[in-house]
């Protein structure tokens, strides 16, 4: 099938935010006496913020702050960290320019809250690249369910099979595959040898390699 549209994930694809998410989670959960590690952060990569908080509350219930209060604190903390220290990942603008030059439609589909998405694309000056921007925060299902990708394809007026998804997490990759879309995965250095990513159509070290691919 001919590729006519590209759908980017945000965290770990467009912005180097995964380390900032880990820092925010460690700080936030520490406030309720929960010792949080970087390995634990990886368990919930690709999930929506409220799903992350509920996941850990179900595993290790805490007292004091409510789930909603922890959600708000986590969003506030990660937004602050990204505003101060967030940077684009290598090859982001080059890949966006490449797809624009090929007249592909371009979308952003993230599990992050829309407030955070807007913070990121404004900080990185990427707003004008995207034809559609979607958050899964208010959808019935988040990744690995394909709903956000199917919804985004519909808003792009394209069939899912004509869409290419760029992801960094296994949850996101499963969601894209379930939507019957072509996939590029760009894992971080800690995950690059994870054999589960072999189901992707393309596995890259960075977005700079996109220009060398053929999507026919």
Main-chain phi, psi angles of 35, to 5 degrees: -75, 115
Question: Is residue 11 among the annotated active site residues?
Answer: yes
Report whether 69 contacts 3 (CB < 8 A): no
Q: Annotated catalytic, 188?
A: no
Q: Is 151 exposed, middle or buried (0-12, 13-18, 19+ CB in 10 A)?
A: middle
Strand, coil or helix: what is 60? coil
User: Does a cis peptide bond (omega within 30 degrees of 0) precede residue 144?
Assistant: yes
Supply the DSSP string of 81-106, one letter for each residue: HHHHH--BPTTHHHHHHHHHHTT-EE
Q: What amino acid positions are annotated as catalytic residues?
A: 9, 11
């Amino acid at each position: 099938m001919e590729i006519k549209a590209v759908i980017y994930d945000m965290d770990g694809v467009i912005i180097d935010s995964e380390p900032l998410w880990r820092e925010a989670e460690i700080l936030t959960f520490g406030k309720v006496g929960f010792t949080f590690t970087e390995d634990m952060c990886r368990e919930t990569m690709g999930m929506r913020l409220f799903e992350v908080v509920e996941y850990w509350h179900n595993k290790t219930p805490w007292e004091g702050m409510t789930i909603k209060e922890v959600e708000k604190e986590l969003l506030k903390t990660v937004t602050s960290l990204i505003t101060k220290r967030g940077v684009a990942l290598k090859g982001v603008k080059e890949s966006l320019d490449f797809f624009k030059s090929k007249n592909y439609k371009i979308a952003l589909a993230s599990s992050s809250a829309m407030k955070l998405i807007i913070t990121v694309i404004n900080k990185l000056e990427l707003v004008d690249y995207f034809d559609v921007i979607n958050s899964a925060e208010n959808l019935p299902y988040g990744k690995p369910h394909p709903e956000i990708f199917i919804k985004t394809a519909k808003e792009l007026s394209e069939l899912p099979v004509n869409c290419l998804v760029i992801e960094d997490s296994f949850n996101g990759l499963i969601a894209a595959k379930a939507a019957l879309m072509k996939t590029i995965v760009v894992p971080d250095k800690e995950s690059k040898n994870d054999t589960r990513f072999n189901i992707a159509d393309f596995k890259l070290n960075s977005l700079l390699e996109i220009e060398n691919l053929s999507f026919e």
